[in-house]
A and B are shown apart, each in its own frame.
Chain A
Amino acid sequence: MAQMSMIEAIRSAMDVMLGRDENVVVFGEDVGYFGGVFRCTAGLQEKYGPTRVFDSPINESGIVGAGIGMAAYGLRPCVEVQFADYIYPAYDQIVSEAARLRYRSAGQFTASMTIRSPCGGGIFGGQTHSQSPEALFTHVSGLKTIVPSTPYDAKGLLISAIEDDDPVVFLEPKRLYNGPFDGHPDRPAQSWAGHPQGDVPEDHYTVPIGKARLVRDGFDATIVTYGTMCFVAEAAVSETGIDAEIIDLRTLLPLDIDTIANSVRKTGRCMILHEATRTSGFGAELSAQIQEECFYNLEAPIVRVTGWDTPYPHAQEWQYFPGPERVGRELTNLMEAAS
């Protein structure tokens, strides 16, 4: 086992796949010689050459569109969109093309590709380096959407994504790249070194797509979350002393509803927590499904804690970000709510 940050784990996944499968290619803006603005592809061009790992023009629509063409030929592109906030020019290619190639050609053509992109806030990036657009992808039939929260899962899931025969949107919470983050910006930054989830095998392994991870066992309530918010939830639980079960979805679609439902049936109370805006966010889908599955077990209304329905502000970042204090308060309210 090696100790890896999430950046190193992601790089290692691509390294392993470039080595195992000649059809894997990696490209995106600044991804080649430089190795990516977050260094996720550092060294890969040197190792595999510029026909396997290369820079692309600044054209997200072209990055995804070219990836689809390559996938149609039979390659397995793993492309990077520099920030999830810049994925919108590629949205048409993702929604109208990648997601539907298989359906409209009755399986003659498929888009076996992975679209990696850093998401989420917490780095003072303002509205164009902080967004969490996952719900724009979970709303689209034909796509799989993944948001890992640890180095171990990031590598295992990225390998699964690259090996998957359908298009996968792989959103990487950039605030977790170098260490777990509990939502207290005033405390010293933590690193992955020494964290159990920072232990990452160097060779090939997979974490299955569509399986949630139990972060913490508990009896009083269930917190359903993913990405950076997993650590915020842990902080809120330890700060309030409420014995909540925490579920890290890891894959948003296909959703592991069984794991969620089993937990909510046990605890009777449920909080959904995400950093993305609330209205029509992925929490809305979660809330609907949990209600469908667990209505008779619920002792209180399901509560959603999310980013506000505004663009991500720069200076007011920590008032926007659903930190442990807000989560803790809502958790306490949830425990006090009577059915």
Chain B
Amino acid sequence: MPEYSPLTFRVPEPPVRPGGEPDFSKFDVPKAGTVRRPEVDSDPDDMKDLATSLIRVLNRNAEAVGPWAGDIDTDLLLHGLRSMMRTRSFDERMMTLQRQGKTSFYMKCTGEEAIAVGQQLALLPGDMNFPTYRQQGLLICQDYPIVDMICQILSNERDPLHGRQLPVLYSAREYGFFTISGNLGTQYIHAVGWAMASAIKGDTKIATGWIGDGSTAENDFHAALVNASVYQPPVVLNIVNNQWAISSYQGIAGGDLATFAERALGYGIPSLRVDGNDFIAVHQVSKWAIERARRNLGPTLIEWVTYRVAPHSTSDDPSKYRPREESAAWPLGDPILRLKNHLIQRGLWSEERHKQAEAEFDEEMRLTAKEAERYGVMGEGASDRDIFEDVYKDMPPHLSKQRQELGV
């Protein structure tokens, strides 16, 4: 019998904790434009390298370079920039409302704006997103009424969800935005199921699933992948790897030994790892994956590499578990700044216009918040009758009785 030394138990640790210097030395940032772009109908077997590389288009000089740069309509780029800026202004205003005690809770997507906006602008009406709480950009870039978003956050009289849902868990069917669940991961498989239905019915619509790095640990993530693999439905499966899941760094979800994108390879699903702070890369890779889905070539998984600049939510204090300076040291920069510089460099935008736009959006959000507050704050104006509606299509007798008991 060979002699073995005692086993040891591995618990992954992030490179630094509060008090230490931010350290991204292990994070490899390849040059923009260096990753190849296969045809959408290439054999998935020949694309496996894309799950470990990092697709980037915008280089240090803010030029769009390489095979993924393509040609993007100028209006779309400007709309993308404005939508990201509006998303950021919106987040800031909502933080203010929360601090003023006008809502119970809020979650920002600061630093991740390019991902939702860049992908939504490649979708068509009728497609369905199955988002998490950090994809407000999907709605904002479609010009969904900001006042309705704020009324949801305030849980007031005009809240489209009748005060029932936690702030930011929107639902907007007409805008291809599935009702957000508070339970992580559950909706990833819904996206797959929705796409399966589209194929069963011979439709042309596609679905997109959204999940965070941490939530890829949930069983439902794997349920989604196996079903996507078996039935090859028209779905784009997004993983937003913002490095953190509340206080747990991505290694606790298994991200330090293999990329999240690589998980799809075992299922034979094409998978790409992309700079999520590069609006052009986001949009072009999204278009590529959406084209595959639309042409009945099956599912694609995309890992968007980004960084959660904001606290997890208004209930969180990240300085307890990561260095304060870490977000500033993040090597992929800021998505708004990068697209702004690109547009300036092409003569399509200027510092002046940027400043003006910032002021305009801050003012838009300030005024819209004021308007929304007229319908009530912090649950004011939500109807007590609405507690009992929509539990079922038709209210069963026991619920009518309970409603009477409450006297509403």
A58 within 8 A of B: yes
List, sorted by A's number, 10 A–B pairs whose CB atoms are closer than 8 Å: A51-B9, A55-B247, A58-B214, A58-B248, A89-B183, A128-B166, A128-B181, A129-B182, A308-B406, A310-B387
Interface size class of B (residues with CB under 8 A): 35 or more
B165: contacting residue among A57, A126, A308, A317, CB under 8 A: A126
A57 touches B402 (CB 8 A): no
Once the chains bind, are B254 and A57 in contact (CB under 8 Å)?
yes
Which of B248, B315, B321 has the most A CB atoms < 10 Å from its CB? B248
B31 at the interface (CB under 8 A from A): no
Q: Are B386 and A316 in contact (CB under 8 A)?
A: yes
Q: Which B residue sits closest to A86, measured CB to CB?
A: B183
In whole angstroms, how far apart are the Cα atoms of A207 and B193 in the complex?
49
Determine which of B166, B184, B214, B252 lies in contact with A314 in the assembled complex, contact meaning CB atoms within 8 Å.
Answer: B166
A313 touches B166 (CB 8 A): no
B window 329-362: CB within 8 A of A: none
Please tell me if the beta carbons of A128 and B387 are within 8 angstroms of each other in the complex. no
Interface assignment of A125: CB less than 8 Å from any CB of chain B: yes
Select A34's contact among B164, B320, B382, beta carbons within 8 Å.
Answer: B320
Of B215, B320, B399, which is within 8 A of A309 by CB? B399
What per-residue 1/0 map shows which CB atoms of A9-45 lie under 8 Å from chain B?
A: 0000000000000000000011011100100000000
* Cβ contact within 8 Å between B246 and A37: yes
Q: How many inter-chain contacts with C-beta < 8 Å in the A-B complex?
A: 131
- Establish whether residues B247 and A316, one from each chain, have CB atoms under 8 Å apart when the complex forms: no
Q: A residues near B, CB below 8 A? A: 29-30, 32-34, 37, 50-51, 54-62, 85-86, 88-89, 124-129, 278-279, 308-311, 313-317, 319-320
Contacts of B408 in A (CB 8 A): 319
Find out whether the CB atom of B387 lies under 8 angstroms from the CB atom of A320.
Answer: yes
Residues on A with C-beta less than 8 A from B257 are: none
Which of B8, B245, B398 lies in contact with A58, CB distance below 8 A? B245
B163 interface residue, CB < 8 Å from A? yes
Task: Indicate whether A88 sits within 8 Å of B182 (C-beta atoms), given known contacts A57-B217, A58-B215, A309-B402.
Answer: no
Q: How far is the CA of A57 from the CA of B251 in the complex (A)?
A: 9
Query: How long is the Cα–Cα vector from A311 to B105 in the complex, in angstroms?
Result: 19
Chain B contacts for A126, CB-based, 8 A: 164-166, 169, 182
A55 pairs with B382, CB closer than 8 A: no
Within the complex, which residue of A56, A86, A319 is in contact with B252, where a contact is CB–CB below 8 Å?
A56
Q: Is the CB of B219 within 8 A of A33?
A: no
The 6 closest A-B pairs by CB, nearest first: A128-B182, A315-B163, A126-B166, A315-B379, A34-B247, A57-B217
Contact assessment for B252 and A313 in the assembled complex, using a CB-CB cutoff below 8 Å: no
Contacts A58-B248, A62-B217 supplied; 4 other A-B pairs, CB < 8 Å: A311-B164, A314-B166, A315-B156, A317-B379
Give the residues in chain A near B315, CB-CB below 8 Å: 37
Which residues from chain A contact B166 at a C-beta distance below 8 Å? Answer: 125-129, 314
Chain A residues near B254 (CB, 8 Å)?
57
Which residues of B are found within 8 Å of A34, using beta-carbon distances? 246-248, 320-321
Complex Cα–Cα for A129 and B105 (A): 12
Chain B nearest CB from A85 CB (Å) reads: 7
Partner of B11, one of A55, A61, A128, A308: A55
Q: Is the interface of B mostly helix, strand, loop or mixed?
A: loop
B11 in contact with A314 (CB, 8 Å): no
Closest Cβ of chain B: how far from A156's Cβ, in Å?
29
* A37, A56, A89, A279: the one within 8 Å of B219 (CB): A89
**Cβ–Cβ < 8 Å partners of B174 in chain A:** none
Least CB distance from A153 to B in Å reads: 27
Q: Which residues of B contact A55 (CB under 8 A)?
A: 11, 247-248, 252
- Name A45's closest neighbour in chain B (CB-CB): B11
Of all chain A residues, which has the CB nearest B388?
Answer: A310
User: Which residues from B are CB-within-8-Å of A62?
Assistant: 217, 219
Contact B391 A30 (CB under 8 A): no
Whether A127 contacts B165 in the complex (CB less than 8 A), given A33-B247, A55-B248, A316-B382, comes out as yes
Nearest-neighbor residue (CB-CB) of B248 within chain A: A55
Known: A34-B247, A55-B252, A57-B252. A313 touches B217 (CB 8 A): no
B256 in the interface (beta carbon within 8 A): no
- Complex Cα–Cα for A126 and B155 (A): 11
Question: When the two chains form their complex, are residues B217 and A310 in contact, meaning their CB atoms are under 8 A apart?
Answer: no
For B182, the closest partner residue in chain A by CB is A128
Residue-by-residue, is B158-183 near A (CB-CB < 8 Å gives 1, otherwise 0)? 01000111110100000000000111
Complex: how many Å from CA A48 to CA B246? 22
Does the CB pair B399–A127 fall under 8 Å?
no
**Which residues of B lie under 8 Å from residue A127 when comparing CB positions?**
164-166, 182
- The answer to whether A59 touches B248, judged by C-beta atoms less than 8 angstroms apart, is no
Q: Is the CB of A309 within 8 A of B182?
A: no
Cβ 8 A contact of A30, one of B246, B388, B398: B246
Pair A61/B219 contact, Cβ less than 8 Å: yes
Contact of B164 among A58, A88, A314 (CB under 8 A): A314
A59-B219 contact in complex given A128-B182, A313-B164, C-beta closer than 8 Å: yes
**CB within 8 Å for A313 and B386 given contacts A55-B252, A58-B215:** yes
Contact A314 B163 (CB under 8 A): yes
CA distance A89 to B9 in the complex (A): 26
**Smallest Cβ distance from B26 to chain A, in angstroms?**
19
Would you call B384 an interface residue if the criterion is a C-beta within 8 Å of the partner chain's C-beta atoms?
A: yes
How far is A279 from B388 in the complex, measured between Cα atoms in Å? 14
**Alpha-carbon separation in the docked complex, A204 to B391 (Å):** 46
Q: B97 contacts the other chain (Cβ, under 8 Å)?
A: no
